[in-house]
Structure 1
Amino acid sequence: MLINLHVKNLALIEETEVDFTDHLNILTGETGAGKSILIGSIQSALGAKIPKDMIRYGCDSALIELIFHTKSQAVQKKMEEFEIPFEDGEIIISRRITNNRVINKVNDISITISRLKELSPLLLDLSGQHENQLLLKPQNHLKIIDSYHRSVIAPVKEKTASLYHEYQELQKKLSEQNMGEEQRIREMEFLKYEIQEIEEAQLRPGEDESLETEYQKVSHAKEILSDCAAVHEVTAGQNGCVGDLIGSAVQRLYTVSNLDAEARGLTEQLQTIDSLLNDFNRELSSYIDSMEFDGEQFAEIEERLNLINHLKAKYGDSIEKIQKYHDNSVEKYEKLSNYEEYISEIKRELSKVKEKLDIQCERLTALRKEAAIPLTKLIKEALLDLNFLDVVFEIAFEQSEHYSALGKDNVCFMISTNPGQAVRPLHEIASGGELSRIMLAIKSILADEENIETLIFDEIDTGISGRTAQKVSERLAYIAKKRQVIAITHLPQIAAMADSHYLIEKTSDANSTISNIYPLSEEESVKELARMLGGVKITEAVLQNAREMRALAKQ
């Protein structure tokens, strides 16, 4: 579950830290106090895009940090996959935002945003203010069914997607081969010319590099000879060369060493230098003798390099790529030479893949329909608990004429909320308040299936009041018995159910506006409920009403 949230220099938040508890955590506050910023910070920490203007005015950077404690095997497996240390079930996610970059870390190890987004759904599920609108799109209904009994459906779904992509590739390949006889002959002649051009060159791996080295050596032979001759003149020439000077110095030191034994070491060192210089001069002479300029050889090297560079410009920037181009061209030529047989082979392969894809689509449909039976029952039961008194809920299936990576199923949630009213597509009749309750029902069911430890609801109470609000609060409390729930609400009926109650408050002075969050004591919670009940003026009667509401919630 989410243990701690720490936010610094983000929008209206200067710096705030809050410790969350088990079960039901309720966040309340005046409109505009910063509740959405707080939820947005959690979303951002888990991988959502962070606008640069979210950094607090006058600050260079912002920090968001979440601390989780989890026993989830799925989380442990993912952490091992990412090679991130994971001890005692603790996970610390941090994102530091500057004007130039965002640094993501998990347990102090830098992590890519894509990996952070893989890990996040395993830790919590966050329902934002606008997520209810997803229910208005029937394509999302299929995702809900696939999330339910994911362990059974996912492997078949992956196999279906793989076959679908294979099917698409074969269809594309077949459509690309739709050419007439004249076009086929032209293509074959062109390929034949390219193949012949490459084969006649008789290229050898690494040949271009060795030729380039030889070319540089031969083309600069005159400069090399001139410089080497100058060196040889200095070391072994006439008129006081280095060799003569060292030889003379050796003779003098030899005389000294006969007079003083301590000078023998110096004499031996200089003799070694003289010997090395003689060896050097012999090797230098051999090198100079080998550097004879051969104009014919130079012309051959230049011509060969020009040919290789010409082929590189046409077929690839290396001999390996040229050879690969040749092999691909040979393969294309052979296919065009046996064009009818090649087309028939594609069609046969396409037919086989289509047959397999049909089988997988049928399996996928059967699994989805099987999952839809208990899912329909659970959703209906949850809706009854959420004050849908005469609800009828069904999941309708239709088969598409076309394949997709998801199979051939079109799914639509059908509902009737009034007696005698026929079921109709959810998106045609559901109001805002009904959508929020349906989403709450679905989220609670999927959380059980996927073993998600933390659920966050941002204003789940949109469009509801009265007895319905009470039912929603009871449902949240029921869900919170088995997992951590964090909810933002404007309704006292829901706030009264809190196991831990937090107030988000905005304060202003002449220079700045700051949002803070802090936990409320029991008496402070009653006063906040009274504010939510009574508005501007809180009377003793309102306070008493708040205390009664709190006492009933505890029962």
Structure 2
Amino acid sequence: MLANLHVKNLALIEEADINFKDGLNILTGETGAGKSIILGSVNLALGGKAVSDLIRSGADYALTELSFDIESEAVKEKLTAFGVEELEEGQLIISRKITPTRSQIKVNGQTYTLGQVREMASWLIDIHGQHDNQLLLNESHHIDILDAYAKESLAEVKAALKEVYAAYVKQKQELQALDTDEESRNREISFIEFEVSEIESAQLSEGEDTQLEADYQKMLHAQKIMEEMAVVEQNLVSGQDNVSDKLGQAVRALNSAAVYDDRLSGLCATLADVESLLSDAARMTADYVEDAAFDAETFQQVQQRLDFINSLKMKYGQTTAEILAYAESRKERLEQLQSHDELIAKLKRELAEKEKRLSGLSAQLSDLRKAAAQKLCAQIRAALQDLNFADVRFEAVFEQTGHFSANGTDNMYFVIAANPGEALKPLSKVASGGELSRIMLAIRTVTANQDDIGTLIFDEIDAGISGRTAQRVAEKLCTLSQKRQVICITHLPQIAAMADVHFMIEKSVQDNKTVTSIYRLLDTQCVEELARLLGGSTITEAVRANAQELCHQAAAYKNK
């Protein structure tokens, strides 16, 4: 659940701390007090769009921070797989800092991208506002609602369908690539034969270019190498005062001295080893000089071969290994073209088999969806009746798209008849704003047990409703809050009366600055706020009594 919201320097909020609780958390306040800022700060922390205008006037930055208590082991596993650390006690903190030039978002102290945080948010919290209600008018979204409701029963078939469809698309693309006229095919065959012939006639070996480059560099600098090796040879053995002569003198002198002092025997052995190593070095130097004679003809051959290989690299690959691999791929393509008719016939047979498999899986998926849709619609009808749709009919209509997809061949949309005697019609044809809010609430109530999301936020779900319908919506929110934490921004006293925790949002002027503040109401303050919602600017004792009665009715409903 969402345990805490901390906001600093955001729009009209100087600093605010809200400690949410289990159950139904209600936020109320005058129009323009800043209720939308609260929801906006949650959206910001969860990866919503940030603009520098959100920073409070006179501040250097804005900060919004959400603290979650994660109880679901499944959600913990997802977060851990995402690289989130320090989840042992189930605490997750998402913070976002916004400056005029940048924004930074962190999860438990680690920096993440907005896209990554949005994905994490989908496991933690579900926000419903007027925009989400409008999604009900988009019929392409309806099948997503059904699939989310029936995800366990559909999972195996959908996974198989996705795999077969991916193979089907790939094979269809291969077939389209082969669908060329004979003239174009012959031109391509001729070109590929030239490429393969050029590469094969080069008789390349893997790594040949690397060795040739090393030989070329050595030959290119042969003169410099020989000059330096001559210096080495002179200093070691042939020059005046060379090291070998001087070391020989030292060895002989030391041996003479060792005749008179046994302690010098160790030094004699060491110096003898040095003399032996020096002799080896002198011999190796002489061998190198003898073998390194510059051959102009060999140098020219290496240079020409290297130039030829480099010309092949410009066309076929950056290394000899890549050139050889390219030749193999072109041979495969050549074989396809030369056996064009047989290959097309083979691909068409395989494609027909996959279409048959797709048809079977799509039909199986459609049957499962239709069975799930009956249950879903029955539960939504019951939920709508609880929301004062007395004689409502709510059904799912299935149509075939006429083409395959990874999601099957179904097109499904909901239809409703809100009153007796009316024909079933799409939601976009009959549903008002208030009806859309109730339909969305009914759907969310039914699907609440299908995921591990711990927190639901409803932004003014009371739009367009009043009276008995408002009471039914309040009762439904109360029922929903027994399974999940619910946070609701509302203008209706019937909904506010059901609060387990009630927060007040107020706007005031302090030091010539407009400030929005949020605080939790005590029981007596709750009654006063309900009276304000009931009576507006004039609150009489009768209005207070009415507010008190609403509180009693809400308490009675909760204790049923």
In the TM superposition, residue 523 of structure 1 has moved relative to its aligned partner by 1.9
| Partner amino acid, structure 1, of 2:35 | K
Q: Using the TM superposition, give the Cα deviation of residue 446 of structure 1 relative to its aligned residue in structure 2, in angstroms.
A: 1.0
Matches within 5 A, 1:122-521: 122-234=123-235, 236=237, 238-240=239-241, 279-509=280-510, 512-521=513-522
Matched residue of 1:411: which SS? Answer: strand
Aligned partner of 2:494: which letter? Q
| Residue of structure 2 equivalent to 1:523 | 524
Checking the alignment, whether the CA contact within 8 Å between 2:65 and 2:96 is kept in structure 1 is yes
Deviations 1:464-492 (A, max 9, x none): 22222222111111111222111111222
Contact 2:158 2:407 in 1 (8 A): yes
For 1:537 and 1:246, the matched residues in 2 are separated by 115
CA shift, 1:58, in A, is 5.6
Q: CA deviation at 1:230?
A: 3.4
Displacement of 1:355: 0.1
Over 3 Å counting, the alpha-carbon distance change for 1:321 and 1:97 in structure 2 is farther
Matched, 1:67 2:67: yes
Q: Structure 1 residues 475-484 or 526-535, which shifts more? A: 526-535
* Per-residue deviation, 1:429: 1.8
Change (3 A) 1:371 1:249: same
Deviation at 1:536, TM superposition (A): 3.5
SS in 1 for 2:167: helix
Contact 2:104 2:111 in 1 (8 A): no
- CA 1:128 to 1:217, structure 2 compared with 1: closer, same or farther past 3 Å? farther
Aligned partner of 2:35 in structure 1 is 35
Unaligned runs of 5+ residues in structure 1 are none
1:74 touches 1:122 (CA, 8 Å); kept in 2? Answer: no
Between the aligned partners of 1:59 and 1:320, the Cα distance in structure 2 is: 60
Q: Distance in 2 between matches of 1:101 and 1:161?
A: 37
- Whole-angstrom distance in 1 between the partners of 2:407 and 2:554: 44
Q: Report if the CA contact (8 A) 2:96-2:103 is conserved.
A: no
| Contact kept in structure 2, 1:148 and 1:449, CA below 8 Å | yes
Segment drifting more, 198-207 vs 240-249: 240-249
In structure 1, what is the equivalent of residue 19 of structure 2? 19
Cα deviation per residue 1:233-291 (whole Å; 9 max; x = unaligned)? 45555355566667777788889999999999999888776665555444334333333
Query: What's the TM-score, normalizing by structure 2?
Result: 0.89
**Structure 1 stretch displaced more, 72-81 or 382-391:** 72-81
**CA contact 2:74–2:452 (8 Å) conserved in 1:** no
Deviation at 1:102, TM superposition (A): 2.8
2:93 matches 1:82: no
The worse-fitting range, judged by mean Cα deviation, of 108-117 and 371-380 is 108-117
Aligned to 1:404, what secondary structure does the other structure show? coil
Larger deviation, residues 80-89 vs 38-47: 80-89
Give the drift of 1:318.
2.4
SS at match of 1:87: coil
- In 2, the alpha carbon distance for the partners of 1:117 and 1:530 equals 39
- 1:176 is displaced (CA, Å) by 2.3
Contact kept, 8 Å, 1:104 with 1:113, in 2: the verdict is: no
Q: 1:63 to 1:299 in 2, by over 3 A?
A: farther
Tell me, in whole angstroms, the C-alpha distance in 2 between the residues paired with 1:339 and 1:463: 66
Q: Does structure 1 retain, via aligned residues, the 8 Å contact 2:75–2:452?
A: no
Please list the CA deviations of residues 11-53 of structure 1 after superposition, one character each: whole Å capped at 9, or x if unmatched: 4444332211111001122333332232233233334444455
5+ residue gaps, structure 2, are: none
Cα deviation 1:413-464 (Å, max 9, x = unaligned):
1112233221111112211111111111111111123253321111111222
Q: Separation in 1 of the partners of 2:508 and 2:251?
A: 93
Alignment-mate amino acid for residue 550 of structure 2: M
The residue that corresponds to 1:102 in the other structure is 104
* Closer/same/farther in 2, CA of residues 124 and 542 from structure 1, 3 Å limit: same
SS in 1 for 2:375: helix
Structure 1 residues 84 and 138: alpha-carbon distance in aligned structure 2, compared to 1, 3 A threshold = same
Distance 1:226 1:457, change over 3 A: same
Whole-Å separation in 1 of the counterparts to 2:29 and 2:313 = 69
Percent same amino acid among aligned pairs? Answer: 47
The 1-side partners of 2:164 and 2:265 are apart by: 87
8 Å CA contact retained: 1:75, 1:119: no
In 2 relative to 1, CA 135–307 (structure 1 residues): closer, same or farther, beyond 3 Å?
same
Tell whether 2:6 aligns with 1:6: yes
Structural RMSD (CA): 3.0
Moved more, 290-299 or 114-123: 114-123
CA contact (8 A) 1:125 1:452 kept: yes
Aligned with 1:387: secondary structure? coil
Aligned length: 554
C-alpha separation between the residues in 2 aligned to 1:295 and 1:454? 82
Distance of aligned partners of 1:96 and 1:271 in 2 relative to their CA distance in 1, 3 Å threshold: farther
What letter matches 2:225 in structure 1? I
* Matched AA of 2:329: N
Aligned equivalents of 1:47, 1:535: Cα separation in 2? 37
Separation in structure 2 between the aligned mates of residue 432 and residue 479 of structure 1, nearest angstrom = 21
After superposition, the C-alpha distances for 1:493-525 in whole angstroms (9 at most, x for unaligned) are: 211111001122334445754433222111222
**Alpha-carbon distance change, 267 to 38 in structure 1, aligned in 2, over 3 angstroms:** farther
Distance change >3 Å, CA 305–CA 443, structure 1 → 2:
same
How far residue 549 of structure 1 moved from its aligned partner, in angstroms, is 2.2
Q: Identify if the C-alpha distance between structure 1 residues 233 and 56 changes in structure 2 by more than 3 Å, giving closer, same or farther.
A: farther
